[in-house]
Each structure stands twice: as structure tokens, then as C-alpha cells.
Structure 1
């Protein structure tokens, strides 16, 4: 039921009011007495949130409802309230017909796999502990969660000079970024700032292809940078002053290098470019690989020597903050970095760069396909890691085949130090996937 980022899927099929009701019941049955609840701008979230709250209160949990807010705002509200758990109704960067449910601990960190498994088991077995008529939970509206998040951002980020910043909200709920940057003295131009869960301005996922309008606006104005969010603002990607979309690997390297010093480690998923490790080498820091998914990265940042964690998809986690990917915090820290250095383009150009190919193959049998690829890879190659899917190391570079944790997709990544080798590795990986699909 749960993937790398909660449970997600098409509304009316995978995601229903019955499911939301049962997840609420299960979280309360699992022992949560006080639960913070929020949602993104998808209209289906209204129905799902009502069902979720009904399940929570039916089993005795008290609910603090923050309404329509960014996922990191909800996570911070959990910590601030001293709640036992948080639940966000969101499909994050997924298409508009989807929705989902993601669970957060009292520390503002995504539920780990074992905790999700407990909730799933209660739902599957229907082992709910209903409250008596006089012990039902209460519901209280919390109206200042976003203002609190903005104050935290203002305190955490010191801009040495004001900047002109383009903020592409993608019709999502990340307005707190624009407000925080404006409060810090920046000139802020917003794109697709109206909350609309249909995402009419652009698809919710902040990719180079989807953000061409924002890139053009940055390129043709005096903006020092652009920042773009997904639907629930847990992701942040960037555009430099020339209008170039900054790759997630490059942005990860910049944040990591800023956070790290000698002996530190940076938590990154197995699909991360070599450039991050190479960028950390001059400061004496290294990477530590995790499975793909912000929950896995966040868990690794609990180690004392891990100073930062991030994913090329745009999730950024700083120890010392709630370990929820905080897109607005990332946007503000990036603005401070640019104000200090003078040029995001120059920072990116200073990084090593290697050709990397990423592609997704749609299949309803993703687990079976990835399992068959693992068999084929282990039969052919000597250096295969099974941390998350199959990552094959060769003299030329590496490739990875893994199942998406949120969509019916198989992800293929290949990287080398030359275009020719990267293309050959990608074609090799794609051929393995095709062979595995032929066996379906």
C-alpha cells in the first residue's frame, strides 16, 4: 500500500474515501492521541481530509487541522504542537487526477517503512480500536501554521543583499516562499501563483521541460535566479540568471558542498550523479548512499556525521530542522547562497559535469520487471548493488534499474564520464528492461 512517499494513486481507484477513513482509524489505533492534518490544493483533498479526520476522531484521536498548506508547513506544525503524528493529503508532484496520504512522526519526519507497515497491517486486518461515544476525538482549526513557517524562514536565512527572484509556484501551495523572500527584502515575481489543484499553468513536477516559461521569464528580466516548486512545495528546483534550468544533481552538489566540511558525509540516493561525490572531495567530505525516497534520506541524516541529505528530484533535508523536505527553506537558502556568491550560473559552471541519462518505462508489473532485471544483471556483471533495484558498476560508469515508489514506472539511470559510454550504458540497461518486460 505504501511506497517511498506514502500511498498515492488515482482518485476513485487506489485513493478513496474508504482508504482515507481506514488510514485515520489505523493511525489513531496505533497510538497517536493528537494528529496534525493538512492537504494540498487538489479538490479531491477536501473529501479525503474529511474522511481521514472522521477515522481519526472515531478512534479517539484529537485533530489539529491546518487546512491547505505546504507539506513542510504541516510537518513544522506537528513539531510545534507537540503532536504525536501528522498526515498530509497530497500527491506531491504527481498529476492532478492523483492524490495520496503521507504520514509524519512527532519529529516532523516521514514514517519509516516499519511504521507504514504497522498502519497497513491494521488497515488490512480491520483491527481498529473504536472509541466509546464519550471518548471521541475533537477537531481544532490551526490558523497560523504558515505564519510560523515564514518566521522560521526569516530567522534561518540572512540575505547580504536583496535580490530579484522569480518564484514559480505551479498553482501549488508554496506561497510561503514568495512571502518569506519578500519579507527578506527581495523583489519577488510569482508565476502560476493561484492555488489550483488542476495545475493549469504547468504539470506539477518541476522539471526542465515543465518549467520553460519560468526559464524564459528569468532569462528576459533582471532576476538573479528562479525557484520552482511542486504541488505541495516539498520540492524546490532552480533556474540560474541566464534562464538555464539547474539539474537536481548540480543543486544537490551546491547545497552539500555548502553544508559539509572535513569528515562529514552527505546522504544521497543511489540514482545520484558522480558529480556530487567529486564536488565534495576537495572539502574532505563523502557521500553515503540510500534507497531512493526522502524518508530513506531523512533517516540517514540521523547519523552524527551526516550534515545534509538530498535527492536530485528536489528534496532537501538539513539536520537541525524537521527532517521533512522543506522547499521554501531550500529556496531561501539558495537565495542567500546566490546573494553571497553573486552568480548561480558561475557556481554551477564550477562543478564537474558528467553525461547522465534518466528515463522511465511505464508498466503495471514494475516489481516483477525489476526482479527479472536483477536476475539478468547478477548473471552478467560482477559489481551489482541491490540497495534499491539493481545498480551496476562498470569501468566506464554505472547504471541503475529500479521501481518507482509512487507510480507504475520502472526508472532507468545511466552515467559515465563520456557521452558515448553513458549512451552505451543506458542502452544496455534499457535492453535489460525490455528483456524483462518480454517475459511478462
Structure 2
């Protein structure tokens, strides 16, 4: 069936994602769980998808804690707060408004791992469902968890009085909890696109540099100290320094990781992370641990002893001592605290940036092609320089390249980075040659 990606079930409403599917997932999840937390982002389709999901859970005898419209990290945290067995966010995160999805959470705050996702898929395949007796159906309780999340965020910055002027671009999503939290610790907050609206009329949901031009302009031309941007469900957070510079994901990752980790500790990052992050952290005797791309994999690694932080350049940030759910509002409060201690622009200037090259090549059978790429790479390069966690990454000391099959398209994506531009071009050429030979 293969419904789940690393970010749960996600796709066009009425095609991949339907009320029938949500009902079935509720039934499958309710087979052996007594209490489940449910919340959704502001997409209009989320209303009937949530209703179907809740119906399936209650029909199975499972009690539901319904948060209504809530940020995904609020849902992820609430599983533990309410001693629940699982959580479900009805969201397509940063995808366009015609999409929706279901992302499932464990009590630790970590997304369902591969084994847990496979268990649900197997129940969907076999129709495994055990309806409760007429008098044993589950209850539904509505609960607004926003204040609880704000209190947790305030605690995360030790209740510090952060005299910062912050512009928050909520992106018409569910991240209003960030505004409340920043105000509660003394920030003066101005908002953009603060009205929840699942059509995302203010800007597209994903907070890319192109989509956040209004935010960067406002920060640059005002007396704001920094800017914050979220996606539709606020699991992602991107930042703008006080001079109006939109910080790249790798730079922000390096800043967060350096602040979170002490000498001898590690941080978890995906295989497509810039070499600059490892170089910057090495200055503080902090190592990187590479994972497949996807916050669930970063969270798994971040839960290991000695790992102080996990992050993805796409904007998912995980502090394992707080939660294993990517928490955009927590990242927003943390970046405000860091800026109060030392301006973001100064921190960013200390992080090196290297030339990076990217390309995508259409292939007919990406699985078979990548098998041949792996075989060629393992034959040509020392085993210690090759990682096959997610695609094939080859570390060359002063450079690296990655060939990775797209999860959604018939493409192989190529990435190459080096400390010098000519070297990056040469390494990308090497990667192209390997792919050409494997096609």
C-alpha cells in the first residue's frame, strides 16, 4: 500500500487523502490505543478529515482529545501532557492548500517510526478493525492546549525577559502560539498573515526566501530586531536577522547546534547538510551524526545519548530535552533568546558558507539506477567515505557529493559542495558521470 512517507500520509484531497482514508486510519490506530490526541491546521478540508478520523477512533472504543485548530508541535507535545497513546495532526504542513494529510505521533513527541507506520499500513491492507460495543464507544473531549504550550515555551527560555522587537509571519497557519509565547516573555510583536486561513492567501505555506520577501523587507526597513516565519502547521521555523538577511537553513542549523551542544557532544543532521555546519561545529569540538532526510530520522538520532540537538536545513528543529517533535514556536523563542544575547547577524557572520551545486536528472527506473550508483561508488571509493543512509553520499575531505532518488518524482537529485567554487563544479561533474554510467 505504501501510504506513508517520512512525513506521514500527504497528498491531494479527494485523491490520495479522503474522508474514507481518515476513517480507516482512525479505526486502524484505535485497535490497541485507549486515548489519542487530534488536532488540525486551518485547511478547510481538515474539518471533515478530522471528523472522519475521530469517528474511526471512537468507533474503535478510543477516547479522543480534540485540540481543534492547533500547531503540529502542540499536538505532538499534548500526547505526553494528556498521557495519551498517540497523536494525529491533520495537516499537509508546508504543502499547497489543495493537499492535506495525517501525521502520527508517539508519546515521546517523536513521529511514528518505520515499524509503527508499517503496523498501521498492515491493518489498512487487511482491514483489521475491532469495533466497540454500542455502549463502549470512545468519548470526545475538546481541549485548548495553547496555554500549556505557551507555558512550556516560556519555561524553555527560563522565563527570561527578552526585550526584542519581533515580526512574526504566521503564514495564515496554526502558529499563533508563537505570538503568545514571545509576548509572554516581553517581546514586542508585529504580525504578518496572522489570520488562520487554509487557502494561504498571504503567501504560499512554505517559508522560503521568495515567499518571505514581505517579512525581510519589513524587518530591514523597521526597527525590528528579527523576523520569524512559519509554515501552515508551524513545525517549521525560518528566521530573518535584524538587517533583513534571510538566514539559510544551514546557517541557522549551525547557530542552533553550536548554542545547544557542548564539547564532546553530537548533533543529528540529514545527509544533505552543508559541510560548513560540520566545520563550524568542529571548532567547538562538536561532531555531526548524519541521518536520512526526514525529521523522523533526525528525531530518532536525537534521542540517543550524547546527542544534544537535531535539525534539518528545511526548518525542522529538535531539542531532545524538550520534545522530539519539530517545534517551530520553540525555535522562535530560542532564536529570540539567542538574538538578545548576541545579534543574529553577528552569529551568522561567524558561520562559513561554501559554494553548493544542485541538479536533477529524469530517470525511468530510479530504484534500479540508484542500485547501480551504489555499486559503482562502493567499488570506486573507500568504505569510510561512503554513506548509503539515504541515497549515496561520498565525503572527499574538502568536498562531498550526494545522489538521492526523489521521493515523489522520477528523478535523481544531485548535490555537490566544496570549500572552493571550482572544486564544487568538478565534484558535481563527477556525480553526473556516475549517474550517466548507471542510467
SS in 1 for 2:283: helix
Conservation of the 8 A alpha-carbon contact between 2:10 and 2:101: yes
Conservation of the 8 A alpha-carbon contact between 1:66 and 1:142: yes
Q: How does 1:350-365 map to 2 (within 5 A)?
A: 350-358=350-358
Task: Please give the alpha-carbon distance, in whole angstroms, between the structure 2 residues aligned to 1:366 and 1:212.
Answer: 36
Conservation of the 8 A alpha-carbon contact between 1:378 and 1:384: yes
1:42 maps to which residue? 43
Task: Please give the alpha-carbon distance, in whole angstroms, between the structure 1 residues aligned to 2:364 and 2:226.
Answer: 39
1:230 maps to which residue? 231
2:280 maps to which residue? 279
Pair 1:179-2:187 in alignment: no
The structural deviation recorded for 1:199 is 1.3
The structural deviation recorded for 1:111 is 0.8
Q: Summarize the Cα distance change of 1:394–1:284 in structure 2 as closer, same or farther, 3 Å threshold.
A: closer
Q: Summarize the Cα distance change of 1:98–1:429 in structure 2 as closer, same or farther, 3 Å threshold.
A: farther
Q: 2:14 aligns with which of 12, 15, 20?
A: 12
Task: Please give the alpha-carbon distance, in whole angstroms, between the structure 2 residues aligned to 1:376 and 1:138.
Answer: 57
Task: Please give the alpha-carbon distance, in whole angstroms, between the structure 1 residues aligned to 2:85 and 2:205.
Answer: 30
Q: Summarize the Cα distance change of 1:108–1:391 in structure 2 as closer, same or farther, 3 Å threshold.
A: same
1:386 maps to which residue? 388
The structural deviation recorded for 1:161 is 4.1
The structural deviation recorded for 1:361 is 6.3
Unaligned runs of 5+ in 1: none
What's the TM-score once normalised by structure 1's chain length?
0.93
Q: How far does the alpha carbon of each residue in 1:64-86 deviate from its partner, in whole angstroms, 9 at most, with x for none?
A: 10011100011111111000100
Q: How far does the alpha carbon of each residue in 1:87-132 deviate from its partner, in whole angstroms, 9 at most, with x for none?
A: 0011111121111111101222111111101011110111122222
1:414 maps to which residue? 416
Task: Please give the alpha-carbon distance, in whole angstroms, between the structure 2 residues aligned to 1:361 and 1:15.
Answer: 29
Q: Summarize the Cα distance change of 1:302–1:353 in structure 2 as closer, same or farther, 3 Å threshold.
A: same
1:54 maps to which residue? 55
Task: Please give the alpha-carbon distance, in whole angstroms, between the structure 1 residues aligned to 2:219 and 2:230.
Answer: 15
Q: 1:402 aligns with which of 404, 409, 414?
A: 404
Task: Please give the alpha-carbon distance, in whole angstroms, between the structure 2 residues aligned to 1:159 and 1:406.
Answer: 43
Task: Please give the alpha-carbon distance, in whole angstroms, between the structure 1 residues aligned to 2:11 and 2:428.
Answer: 28
Q: How does 1:142-157 map to 2 (within 5 A)?
A: 142-143=143-144, 145-157=145-157
Task: Please give the alpha-carbon distance, in whole angstroms, between the structure 1 residues aligned to 2:271 and 2:430.
Answer: 18
Task: Report the more deviating stretch, 109-118 or 399-408.
Answer: 399-408
Please tell me the root mean square deviation across aligned C-alpha atoms, in Å: 2.1
Q: How far does the alpha carbon of each residue in 1:157-216 deviate from its partner, in whole angstroms, 9 at most, with x for none?
A: 144541111111111110111111112121111111111111122111111122112111
Task: Please give the alpha-carbon distance, in whole angstroms, between the structure 2 residues aligned to 1:430 and 1:141.
Answer: 54
Q: How far does the alpha carbon of each residue in 1:318-352 deviate from its partner, in whole angstroms, 9 at most, with x for none?
A: 122121000000000100000011x2111100112
Task: Please give the alpha-carbon distance, in whole angstroms, between the structure 2 residues aligned to 1:47 and 1:3.
Answer: 22
Task: Please give the alpha-carbon distance, in whole angstroms, between the structure 1 residues aligned to 2:199 and 2:361.
Answer: 25
Q: How far does the alpha carbon of each residue in 1:402-437 deviate from its partner, in whole angstroms, 9 at most, with x for none?
A: 23457776543221111222233335445655776x
What's the TM-score once normalised by structure 2's chain length?
0.93
Task: Please give the alpha-carbon distance, in whole angstroms, between the structure 1 residues aligned to 2:412 and 2:103.
Answer: 22
1:288 maps to which residue? 289
SS in 2 for 1:37: strand
Conservation of the 8 A alpha-carbon contact between 2:162 and 2:185: no
Task: Please give the alpha-carbon distance, in whole angstroms, between the structure 2 residues aligned to 1:19 and 1:387.
Answer: 31
Task: Report the more deviating stretch, 155-164 or 270-279.
Answer: 155-164
Task: Please give the alpha-carbon distance, in whole angstroms, between the structure 1 residues aligned to 2:407 and 2:151.
Answer: 33
Conservation of the 8 A alpha-carbon contact between 2:292 and 2:389: yes
Task: Report the more deviating stretch, 409-418 or 10-19.
Answer: 409-418
Q: How far does the alpha carbon of each residue in 1:343-366 deviate from its partner, in whole angstroms, 9 at most, with x for none?
A: 211110011221223456688965
Task: Please give the alpha-carbon distance, in whole angstroms, between the structure 2 residues aligned to 1:210 and 1:90.
Answer: 20
Conservation of the 8 A alpha-carbon contact between 1:3 and 1:406: no
Task: Please give the alpha-carbon distance, in whole angstroms, between the structure 2 residues aligned to 1:360 and 1:98.
Answer: 24
